[in-house]
Structure 1
Amino acid sequence: MTGPAGPAPTAVGSRFLAGLPAAGRERLLAHGRPVTFPAGARLFEEGRRADRFWVIRSGTVALDLHVPGRRAMVVETLPPGELLGWSWLFPPYAWQLGGAALGPVTAVEFDATAVRALCERDAALGHAVCRQVAETIARRLRSSRRRLLDVYGPYGSGAG
């Protein structure tokens, strides 16, 4: 599932990485490593320990929610450039959703403990990482709200 270690990986087009100060981004990327996942691979499971996160380089990952007595429900799909995982940043460090590769996926993987320690040592980077993660959460919350309004709201309420 993982690729060989090599030069510092990049994730072109990542909003998460683009929103970090250049020097901090380079320090963060020094903690990243390239990984690959085959189609159908489970990257993480809801409720389990969130000890890493990724920036998707290629492929798509489905985020899903466990529904008792039914198959997991896909709540969002993440394309290349997206941050995958935010549960690593907030106690109790447990995944809020599950994640599976819809096809082959390449990503840059980060060890959550190492990144939290880096952010503690560098307050400016820590602030920028927290801001980028919060913006990701807010964007996905808005998207979920629109989808819910499209399904359950009066005609046209999801637009805007």
Structure 2
Amino acid sequence: MTRATKLLTALAPPQRERLMSLAQEVSFPEDTRIFEAGGHADRFWVVRSGAVSLDQQVTPQQRVTVASLGAGDLLGWSWLFPPYEWDFGAEAFSPVRAYEFEAGPVLRLCEEDPALGMALVRLVAEILAHRLELTRGRLLEAHRRGDL
């Protein structure tokens, strides 16, 4: 398994600076639901500190944690792909500080700077592939244990 890509450190410094010009600092208290699967995805975050759990509702009564995110990790990719709905739910596992980015301004920036847009799409795709691999493994493990 490959090491997780850290979005901000993977961008070239000038690209990172342009993207960061759109960042807003936010925080989430422990146990806060940040978003729910199926909800409207119009933003994303880069975790600065704390831990976030990504989960999948597998039965009406049960969620399975499919990934744990920490400092430097991208939270949310659904803002980039139609139908712009969250694929997973996310919850602050501890107090979380993050950079928040609204999708609209980021997408406009990507149109203005196609090299930044291509770099961002490639990085998000790499992160997405890694997360899907992790999700598959966690769901298979939960199935093997009889948790599903």
Counterpart CA distance in 1 for 2:44 and 2:29 is: 17
The amino acid across from 1:94 in the alignment is: E
> Is 2:66–2:138's contact at 8 Å kept on the other side of the alignment?
no
Report the Cα distance in structure 2 between the residues aligned to 1:37 and 1:152, rounded to whole angstroms. 31
Equivalent in the alignment of 1:45:
36
Number of the residue aligned with 2:6? 15
Structure number with higher strand proportion? 2
Identity across the alignment (%): 49
TM-score for both structures, normalised by structure 2: 0.87
Amino acid at match of 2:114: A
Q: Secondary structure at the match of 2:58?
A: coil
Q: RCO greater where, 1 or 2, for CA within 8 Å and sep 6 or more?
A: 2
Matched, 1:80 2:64: no
Shift of 1:149: 5.4
Equivalent in the alignment of 1:116: 107
Aligned length: 140
Q: Within the alignment, does 1:54 sit opposite 2:53 as a pair?
A: no
- How far off is 1:150 after superposition? 4.9
1:135 to 112, 117, 126: 126
Tell me the CA shift for residue 72 of structure 1: 2.3
TM-score, normalised on structure 1?
0.81
- Structure number with the higher helix fraction is 2
Q: Which runs of 5+ in 2 are unaligned?
A: none
Q: What is the aligned partner in structure 1 of residue 58 from structure 2?
A: 67
Aligned-residue CA RMSD in angstroms?
A: 1.7
Larger C-alpha radius of gyration, 1 or 2?
1
